[in-house]
A = this chain, B = another copy of it.
């Protein structure tokens, strides 16, 4: 079984956002065993899996990572698109632009506390394109 769908996320503010339900509602009936691949077609945003309950986790992600990889670091030469652009590229590759999640007995095999995050690193990133691919049997 193969399934593929391209979806456009609504525009999100800079920060970390739970998108698990958006992903779920774009999936077909899942195979008994298989995998879901989620890919974001951008270089200044990322996908991650993390804690799905307390919003303060998402707030702390933003605070800490923005401190670690700060806007407007003097070392950057690629600054034409703004102080948030080059840090966004670096964060994008450190978090990664794709996720692979196992499908177990017809359901996503996420742990109890695992949710899917859109990591929006730009101040005004605009709508983001994802490609969902499911394969299995």
B60 touches A67 (CB 8 A): no
B33 touches A35 (CB 8 A): no
Q: Which of A7-15, A21-29, A104-112 contacts B (4 or more CB under 8 A)?
A: A104-112
A104 touches B6 (CB 8 A): yes
**For the complex, would chain A's binding face be called helix, strand, loop or mixed by DSSP majority?**
mixed
Interface bin, chain A:
35 or more
Of A6, A40, A86, chain B has the most CB atoms within 10 Å of the CB of A86
B39 touches A109 (CB 8 A): yes
B64 touches A75 (CB 8 A): yes
A114 touches B48 (CB 8 A): no
Ordered by A's residue number, 14 sampled pairs between the chains whose C-beta atoms are within 8 Å are A40-B111, A41-B111, A42-B111, A43-B114, A49-B93, A50-B89, A51-B89, A54-B78, A59-B77, A64-B75, A64-B86, A93-B117, A97-B114, A111-B129
